Chain A
Amino acid sequence: MTEGSPGRLPEQAAHVEEAVLAASTAAVAATTDAVVAANPLRDPSDKRLPRVAGPCVLVLFGVTGDLARKKLLPAIYDLANRGLLPPGFSLVGFARREWRDQDFAQLTYDAVKQHARTPFREEVWKQLSEGIFFCPGEFTDDGAFDALAMMLKEIDETRGTGGNYGFYLSVPPKFFPVVVEQLKRTDLAHGPDSSWRRVVIEKPFGHDLKSAHELNAITSAVFPESSVFRIDHYLGKETVQNIMALRFANNLFEPIWNRGYVDHVQITMAEDIGIGGRAGYYDGIGAARDVIQNHLLQLLALVAMEDPTSFEADSLRREKEKVLKAVRLPQDLARSTARGRYAAGWQGGQPVIGYAEEEGIPADSITETYAAIKLEIANRRWAGVPFYLRTGKRLGRRVTEVAVVFQKAPHLPFSKDDTEILGHNALVIRVQPDEGITVRFGSKVPGTAMEVRDVSMDFAYGESFMESSPEAYERLLLDVLIGDPPLFPHQREVELSWKILDPIEEFWASQGVPEDYPAGTWGPASADEMMARDGRVWRRL
């Protein structure tokens, strides 16, 4: 955390960050790392013992939201079920509801029953439910936060949680200032030296560079950067972490992972759903801010970065930052970006309405639901290799993947007819669904003629490992409670990503209404034309 260029941060925030940093890292080390290292029962070679979080309380703001019910609460149960939560772990819900502890416990119970991935076990629920509390109130209500502070103090005494609190802000960003201010006022943001306080925030991390600065200023004025955990749930996915294993644990791929062999890279996140009931959030944000700025640029960073010196947060983030800094936009944005908006059509056998007809979308909306951009990376490894990023709603089907498409063989000792339909070799990292890796290469078609055609070789996670690989949120929540930050983007990465996207957004803002594409198809014609200009095509997914 001592590296990098704090000059990118606003002067004041950077100052605060560094000042608090020294104290807090010392404090954290005193309670966890040092003691854990000194723990006579732990031994690095004892791999059966899982990483278990230390005693702590997780305070959840926004417990009634979809994310909490469908992902967070079930993930907490799953962690408990796998024995990864400490004895005494406590969960405090905070919301504007006239609820008592048991009402929140009931909500949790229902969420767990419905959405947990591991089987329901009475004894695990008993352990968990003993530690479920609820604090009613509004974010602006000083009294409610005083009550929360009291409650946490009491939990420390009755449950032995040692003053270690994680605050999960599962609320829209507009509430961040008031919640963070309340945490500061009640002194919940800073514990005694022997304990930790962490804050977890969800995307969006702003809607441009300026707002990202502002948002960061709010949290960093109260919490040091090392205590801020920005959740990008994509980074918790097994396949995404496997990108690093694939690249750096093997000798098979890295030698060809460069401009000498790679023709281009396509990173896609396609959704088959529309915006659903999220008009209020989505309109004015659009596909690029919603997906490209965080998920796709993070995927790009992982695919394109150099090998980190270790998998410590610092080294990993440093490499990701380096490659994000090297990203260049093409000169002519009109010819190297495309955007679209879904019109009424048929999606997977059902008629669906267009974006403009969705409830709550203003008539003059120019928000895109499809975005495709071409980026280049100005470094020795990637110079001249375009990275095409695309995302969209109401596309043909739901799929997220990274495809590294290789150059054609320099010479083919076959007749032209034999290899007529042979395409490019490709290595595809399938992120979701059906997580795995596909390698595409040419193979002889059986028979007396020499006919070469593309075939796929598949590695499916579902087939080779665990049916119940941990959900992304499980992994990330555990990392928050343990205080292990490699899978969380640093503020600098957030800002670098906005620097890449801002010029494109500015350009698009001047281009009026995006081009329509019928729902259920693969985006607007301009996206295909953009590829055609480079003599390439999108992978058919």
Chain B
Amino acid sequence: MTSFMLSDTTASKISSQLTHLRHQMGSPAVGMVLTLVVVCDESDQYDAVRAATEAAREHPSRILVVIARDPAEPNRLDAELRVGESTPGEVILLRLYGELTRHADSVVSPLLLTDTPVVAWWPRECPDVPAKDPIGALALRRIVDARAAAGPVKAIASRAGSYVPGDTDLAWTRLTPWRSLLAAAFDQPVGKVKKGVVEAAAGHPSAPLLAAWLGERLGAPVKVVESDGPGLTRVMLSTVDGDITIIRSEARLARLSRPGQPDRQVALARRATSELLAEELRRLDPDEVYEAAIRRISKSSRSS
């Protein structure tokens, strides 16, 4: 891997240095399919970059990491360029000082790959309205994570208020294996669902999302109850024929029971951030199903 530091620099200098590095490595062609902008703190930077580079194996990307440093310092832009073996694409860490911290878009915008999708990801705190954020406004898709928020459940309940097509939340991505398994259970005829329960560790933002999705699709009340975790532990849907249950007592293997059928074990592992990110990058169109779920949560939290 080739790493290169530029201090007190500009976007155009970074750009020409990148071209130079690529030529030096003998691979001037660019096969990257998108730009991923990661907005985070210095302390989250390492894990975020790691997840993003792993996801980039599936989706070769230019990864721009925007790190806001001390706004009281004089204006300055420092950049760290990484090109080579560990990633199929490029990683650029941008450290912003002074007033520049409020104008990150002026640095990011000239560094975006031409005419390919832009995805913004806030691994920790995110703006109230991601689409109105200067960086978010550049992006086709905006990924946030309610689990990293100060009040995760509250955060997910407030998502509908700021929703713009293209928004998505990793709390929703985490549910895909659960939803896939539940959907598979309904591929055989099942009686009408009367009510349901989703059980998860306290303050787990995916639980109300799953309950909302089930409620929305099944037209039945689904409530959330607390358990010791980890994460989601149980989903039970009461139908006229009996209960459909998925219980995950350990974090990797679950048991599925359906009325009139033997219990079955199913792998249901919790996935790493890189896998969640890779799933998000697979389809870049607006997720209407997610939208319906967050709207339902916001409606029910208003009415209660």
Chain A interface (Cβ < 8 Å from any Cβ of B): 32, 35-36, 38-43, 45-50, 52, 54-55, 80-81, 83, 86-88, 121-124, 126-127, 130, 157-160, 162, 458-460, 463-468
In the assembly, what is the distance between CA of A50 and CA of B282, in Å? 12
Most buried by B among A40, A124, A158, A465: A40
Report whether B252 and A123 are in contact in the complex, using a CB–CB cutoff of 8 Å.
yes
B179 at the interface (CB under 8 A from A): yes
Q: What are 10 A-B residue pairs whose CB atoms fall within 8 Å in the complex?
A: A40-B218, A41-B182, A43-B217, A48-B180, A49-B183, A50-B180, A54-B184, A83-B181, A127-B267, A458-B29
A52 to B186, CA, bound (A): 11
Is B177's CB within 8 Å of the partner chain A? yes
Docked pose: A90 CA to B219 CA in angstroms: 33
By the criterion CB–CB under 8 Å, are A126 and B181 in contact? no
Inter-subunit contact A159/B269 (CB<8 Å): no
Is A465's CB under 8 angstroms from B187's CB?
no
Chain A residues near B193 (CB-CB < 8 A): 40
Hey, which chain A residues are within 8 Å of B189, CB to CB? 35, 38
- Give complex CA distance A466, B32 in Å: 11
CA distance A15 to B214 in the complex (A): 47
Which of A35, A81, A123, A159 interacts with B264 by CB under 8 Å? A159
Cα-based distance from A468 to B269 in the complex (angstroms): 19
Residues of A within 8 A of B33 (CB): 464-465
Known: A36-B187, A43-B289. A126 touches B265 (CB 8 A): yes
Instruction: List the interface of chain B (C-beta within 8 A of A).
Output: 29, 31-33, 57-60, 88, 173, 176-177, 179-189, 193, 214, 217-219, 252-253, 256, 258, 261-262, 264-269, 279, 283, 285, 287-289
B267–A160 touching, CB < 8 Å? no
Bound complex: CA of A466 vs CA of B57, how far in Å? 6
Q: How far is the CA of A122 from the CA of B265 in the complex (A)?
A: 13
Given A41-B179, A52-B180, A123-B269, A463–B186 Cβ distance below 8 Å? Answer: no
Count chain A CB atoms within 10 A of each CB in B184, B188, B288 and give the residue with the most.
B184
Please, how many angstroms separate the alpha-carbon atoms of A250 and B128 in the complex?
39
Distance, CA A389 to CA B205, complexed state (A): 58
* Nearest chain B CB to A158 CB, angstrom units: 5
Shortest CB–CB separation between residue A152 and chain B, in angstroms? 15
B154 to chain A, nearest CB (A): 25
- B46 smallest CB distance to A (angstroms): 23
A87-B262 contact, Cβ under 8 Å, with A36-B187, A467-B57? no
B287 touches A48 (CB 8 A): yes
Query: Which of these, A35, A36, A130, contacts B265 with CB under 8 Å?
Result: A130
Considering the complex, give the chain A residue whose CB is closest to the CB of B256: A87
Q: By the criterion CB–CB under 8 Å, are B264 and A126 in contact?
A: no
CB contact under 8 A between A48 and B218, given known A121-B269, A123-B269, A127-B253: no
Since A87-B265, A157-B262, A159-B262 are in contact, a sample of 7 more A-B pairs with Cβ atoms closer than 8 Å, ordered by chain A residue number, is A32-B187, A40-B193, A42-B186, A48-B279, A55-B187, A160-B258, A464-B60
Nearest 6 CB-CB pairs, A to B?
A463-B31, A160-B261, A123-B252, A123-B267, A41-B183, A87-B264
**The one of A122, A126, A158 that contacts B262, using a Cβ cutoff of 8 Å:** A158
B253: chain A residues at CB < 8 Å are 123, 126-127
Task: Enumerate chain A residues within 8 angstroms of B32, measured Cβ to Cβ.
Answer: 464
C-alpha gap A499/B181 in the complex (Å): 47
Tell me the smallest distance from the CB of A53 to a CB of chain B, in Å. 9
Q: Which residue of A lies closest to B246 (CB)?
A: A87
Bound together, the chains give a CA A348 to CA B58 distance in angstroms of 32
Question: Within the assembled complex, what's the spacing in Å between the Cα atoms of A159 and B29?
Answer: 52
Contact of A41 among B59, B218, B266, B285 (CB under 8 A): B218
Cα–Cα, bound, A130→B264 (Å): 9
- Are A45 and B88 in touch, CB under 8 angstroms? no
Tell me which residues across on chain B come within 8 A of A87, comparing CB atoms: 181, 184-185, 256, 264-266
For B179, the chain A residues whose CB sits under 8 A away are: 41, 48-49
Given contacts A130-B265, A160-B264, contact A467 B58 (CB under 8 A): yes
Give the docked Cα–Cα distance between A405 and B268 (Å).
49
Complex CA gap A46/B214 in Å reads 13
Bound together, the chains give a CA A83 to CA B262 distance in angstroms of: 20
Quick check: B59 and A465 within 8 Å, CB to CB? yes
Give bound CA distance, A242 to B60, whole Å: 19
Chain B residues near A458: list those with CB within 8 A.
29
The distance in angstroms between the C-alpha atoms of A467 and B173, with both chains bound, is 21
Which residues on A sit within 8 Å (CB–CB) of B265?
Answer: 87, 126-127, 130
The residue from B29, B60, B268, B283 contacting A48, defined by CB atoms under 8 A apart: B283
A54 adjacent to B187 (CB under 8 Å):
yes
CA distance A30 to B177 in the complex (A): 26
